[in-house]
Amino acid sequence: VVGFAMGFSDVNKTNGYSAQYDMFNTSDGTWFASGELPSGEGRQYGTALGCGGKLIFAGGQVAGGRSKAVDVYDVQAGAWWPASPQNLALSVARSNLAAACAMDRFAVFGGGQIPGSPAVDILDVETRLWSRAALNFGRGWLSAAGVGDCAVFAGGHPKTGPGSDIDVFCFAEGKSSRR
């Protein structure tokens, strides 16, 4: 997402983790408070990305476990999407996951520690609908990147498993296919 960055504030902490985001507008060089996360869950070791004009934070570690929460900030609207456990949650609670954006439309969240999740959750930021997929094998601490119409996941722990440690999910005509 061009023009904005996000960061944690150390106010309004819940269970020791911040539930408050501050945004930085790179166009005018100003910081502003965006309010508390709609999920109300302060957490660490989650993942964040920009996709389709949205800033998205997903998963993470909370006091006593992992989180399924997904919080979405719409840059144009200047507001968070309302929290809803039915439509803004990962399929599996996890931390140390990776995320990539494909086609500036599909936010793809993969892997994570629970330990070593193979789960892949795909959010279409235009329709707000989810689909699911899986990595070759479960792993956390992995890396991800969006390349054209594909999201690529690589590495992670455990480093070896059945098959390749590179997973590629591509989107054609709004549908996901695995390569």
pLDDT tens track for 96-113 = 999 999 999 999 999 988
Confidence of residue 51 (pLDDT cuts 50, 70, 90): very high
Name residue 36's amino acid.
E
Q: Which residue has the tokens 């020791």?
A: 16
pLDDT tens track for 131-162 = 999 998 888 889 999 999 999 999 888 765 55
Task: Look at 41 and 100; give whichever has higher pLDDT.
Answer: 100
Residues in the chain: 179
- Give, as one character, the DSSP assignment of residue 81: P
The CA distance from 37 to 80, in Å, is 8
Peptide bond into 115 cis (omega under 30): yes
Reported pTM: 0.85
